[in-house]
């Protein structure tokens, strides 16, 4: 039930933000759309542990801020490599994804892909292995140092 209240709230926020025209007719249409979407979601049974909008905790904004800082740093490194392409040392590596849930592993993989200079090419969920294509040696040593891994584990919280 908590899922549906959260979903209704987020959808209402989205409608109000996107419409910008506040008239009774549009409120009725919006309410009908939200009811339809919530009903469809319930019928499709997609709202479960992996799709819970209410699972967003206070840790998420903190993690995003840190991630944006990392993205900016990695961007500067890759931009320098574009200007001087002799610096690139492309390599394929494999690292562990020790997160205990699928959402955690996917978050880790997507964070790695979002950071320029590293792209996750394969995620083996059952063994918790990530295959990564990396552009620069600095990016590889950063990944192997495990800062991002610890942050994602922290974001995920205890099992």
Partner 1 sequence: MGAVLLATILAIFTTMILALWRAIAGPSVYDTIVGVNVFGTKTVLLIALITYFSGNDDLIDVALVYALINFLAVIAVLKLIRQRDLAAAPEGGDD
Partner 2 sequence: MTELILDVVSGLLLLGGAAFAVIGGIGVMRFPDIFTRLHAGGITDTLAPLLIVGGLVLQSGFTLLTFKLLLILLFLLFTTPAASHATARAALVAGLQPVTRDSTDQKETRSSNS
Binding mask 76-115 for partner 1 (x = CB under 8 A): ----------------------------------------
Report the DSSP beta bridge partners of residue 137.
none
Binding mask 107-146 for partner 2 (x = CB under 8 A): --xxx-xxxxxxxxxx----------x-x-x---------
Q: Should residue 125 be labelled a site residue for partner 1 when binding is judged by CB under 8 A?
A: yes
Place of tokens 């063994």: 127
For residue 151, the tally of other CB atoms under 10 A from its CB is: 19
Which tokens in the block code for residue 140?
């590889």
How many Å is the maximal CA-CA distance in the chain?
62
In the region spanning residues 43 to 82, those forming contacts with partner 2, defined by CB under 8 A, are: 68, 71-72, 75, 78-79, 81-82
In the region spanning residues 130 to 159, those forming contacts with partner 1, defined by CB under 8 A, are: none
CB 99 within 8 A of CB 107: yes
């Amino acid at each position: 039930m908590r899922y549906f209240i959260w979903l209704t709230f987020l959808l209402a926020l989205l409608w109000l933000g996107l419409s910008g025209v506040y008239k009774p007719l549009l409120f009725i249409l919006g309410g009908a759309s939200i009811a339809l979407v919530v009903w469809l979601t319930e019928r499709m049974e997609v709202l479960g542990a992996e799709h819970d909008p209410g699972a967003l905790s206070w840790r998420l904004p903190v993690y995003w801020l840190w991630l944006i800082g990392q993205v900016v740093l990695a961007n500067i490194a890759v931009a320098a490599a574009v200007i001087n392409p002799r610096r690139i040392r492309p390599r394929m590596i494999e690292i562990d994804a020790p997160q205990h849930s699928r959402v955690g592993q996917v978050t880790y993989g997507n964070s790695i892909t979002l950071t320029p200079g590293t792209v996750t090419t394969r995620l083996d969920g059952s063994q918790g292995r990530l295959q990564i294509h990396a552009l620069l040696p600095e990016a590889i040593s950063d990944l192997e140092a495990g800062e991002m891994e610890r942050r994602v584990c922290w974001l995920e919280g205890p099992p």
